Structure 1
Amino acid sequence: MAGNSGEAGGRSVAGRVFAVLEAFDGERESLRLAEIARHADLPAPTALRMVRELVAWGALERQRDGGYRLGRRLWSLGALAPCLRRIRELAQPALQELHERTGQTALVAALDGRSALLLDRLPGAAVQSSPFQVRVGGRMDLHATAVGRVLLAFAPEALVREVTAGLAAAGARHTRYTVVAPGRLARELAAVRRGGVGYARREMQPAYGAAAVPVFHPDGSLLAALGLVVPAPVDPARYEGRLREAGRLMAAEVARSVVAEQAAGNAVGNAAGNTASTG
């Protein structure tokens, strides 16, 4: 299509739109036009045109301070992704129990590229009153969050190397507690694999710590990470038992779902076979 070619380094219209949307992540939830243009590597006039069209469609929202953030229509579309929606549904009983038994923020995340994608969360009182909140659908660092560290621990080695190489970047350190030494991160990931639980203490924000456990599919692949965020004075290890219980609960929900889907598939197959034999 002729309308998809051209400016901004030869990128298509779709490519430029994606570049604008990818400028927003867990660390950059609100951006001004100049920042969008810089992160998307677009000329200011092109960025302005893209942003206006995305605002009109509902993918971006204009804020009172002149900045922009991702719009609700985009979040709604993302929530329709069948795989992610299913993981979110399966996590509900575990999230509810973890939240009710601890009073802290319970969350579930899945691996998405080089980030942890927040699928759902039930906020505790401490996080509700905090200005730092990653929204559902937002992304979090793999190296500096508990859920991210759990996801990274069981990720392909190529991704581990890529994330480790990025520790030298200026934006990798969020607080003075953030792990940015490759050797230290390797030890943290080894501890997750060995012990089945990951921690991040004051690494994204000095006021919070977190713990997370992996949730596996019956085929052995990692499905998600279930986590808990607590105020920094509280040691997240205090809730390790509750967190492990919630992880087992979610894994059981996943296993039941797989068995039910297999049974439904067998029933359909048997019905089709019976129809063919009597036809």
Structure 2
Amino acid sequence: MAGRVLSVLDAFAGERRRLTLTDISRRTGMPLATTHRLVGELLSWGALERHRNGRYEIGLHLWAVAAMAPRWLELRDVAMPFLLGLYRKTGRQQVRLAVLDGMETVLVERIGAPDTGGAGEPVGGRRPAHTTGDGLVLLAYAGSTVRERYLVHHAPATGLRHVLAEVEGAGFAVNGRWPGPGGTVSAAAPVRDATGEVVAAVSVVPGTSEAGQCALAPVVMATGRTISRALSRRQNGA
């Protein structure tokens, strides 16, 4: 039973955030009658809501519960003042904070309006890791096992291994020449926890040339280091 309920919720993980009952049934592979019953239960609890156009969307109650996830709540809480500072320093360009979950990046926070390059997914949105600057950073520092698994899964991404080695060596990613299909152009840098492990990436989506992204790299890297120090102090109880 729980597995079926989770399958219904997982149906909303794609790009389309409002789904019909038929959409949900097709994505979960469950009969329409079963889908209707489970959706009704989720509506009653507040995990789903019905939009005025009749489609279903994630409900406020579920969003509020998910927002309390301790690991990401702490990260977002610590990073927010510095993300706002980066937003101001870069002339109000879009600023992002993302983490790696499996083979995808998950957007933890975004400040600023979506650019015209497709970086407008909502908080909680997912993308294949190699299609974003923050994803390239997270892959580069994820460790050889994670990297190799990703490279096997994304074999057509020719040259990705070399790009990740460059990112790890430089300490930042500028993906103007490597956005991938449907990717975004950005400058990104790592965020580390108290153990030194890279747990997130901060990025700016400037909508400029690669040269413009390179010019942003130092301030993005500095912000990543500042967030890392603040996160370490929080985790060490300082």
Give the TM-score range, shorter chain.
0.7 to 0.9
The amino acid of 1:188's aligned partner reads: V
The answer to whether 1:119 aligns with 2:108 is yes
CA drift at 1:108: 0.9
Counterpart for residue 80 of structure 2: 92
Counterpart for residue 190 of structure 2: 214
Deviations, residues 55-85 of structure 1 (Å, cap 9, x unaligned): 2222122234443222222221111111110
The amino acid of 2:58's aligned partner reads: L
Counterpart for residue 7 of structure 2: 19
Counterpart for residue 198 of structure 1: 173
Q: Which has the higher contact order (CA 8 A, sep 6+)?
A: 2
Counterpart selection for 1:150 from 137, 154, 161: 137
Compute the TM-score of the two structures, normalised by the length of structure 2: 0.86
CA contact (8 A) 1:93 1:250 kept: no
Counterpart for residue 120 of structure 2: 133
Bigger shift: residues 190-199 or 59-68? 59-68
The amino acid of 1:240's aligned partner reads: A
- Secondary structure in 2 matching 1:80: coil
Counterpart for residue 217 of structure 2: 240
- Secondary structure in 2 matching 1:137: coil
- Secondary structure in 1 matching 2:206: strand
CA contact (8 A) 1:119 1:136 kept: yes
Q: Distance in 2 between matches of 1:210 and 1:131?
A: 11
Counterpart for residue 159 of structure 2: 184
Counterpart for residue 22 of structure 2: 34
Compute the TM-score of the two structures, normalised by the length of structure 1: 0.74
CA contact (8 A) 2:192 2:200 kept: yes
Identify if the C-alpha distance between structure 1 residues 131 and 239 changes in structure 2 by more than 3 Å, giving closer, same or farther: closer
CA contact (8 A) 2:105 2:135 kept: yes
Counterpart for residue 250 of structure 1: 227
Q: Distance in 2 between matches of 1:30 and 1:82?
A: 27
CA contact (8 A) 1:116 1:142 kept: yes
Q: Distance in 2 between matches of 1:203 and 1:60?
A: 33
The answer to whether 1:227 aligns with 2:216 is no
Q: How does 1:24-103 map to 2 (within 5 A)?
A: 24-25=12-13, 27-102=15-90, 103=92
Q: Distance in 2 between matches of 1:131 and 1:192?
A: 22
- Secondary structure in 1 matching 2:185: strand
Unpaired segments ≥5 residues, structure 2:
none
Q: Distance in 2 between matches of 1:199 and 1:45?
A: 48
Q: Distance in 1 between matches of 2:110 and 2:208?
A: 19
Larger Rg: 1
- Secondary structure in 2 matching 1:143: helix
- Secondary structure in 1 matching 2:186: strand
Q: How many correspondences in the alignment?
A: 234
Q: Which has the higher helix share?
A: 1
CA contact (8 A) 1:27 1:140 kept: no
Identify if the C-alpha distance between structure 1 residues 29 and 200 changes in structure 2 by more than 3 Å, giving closer, same or farther: farther
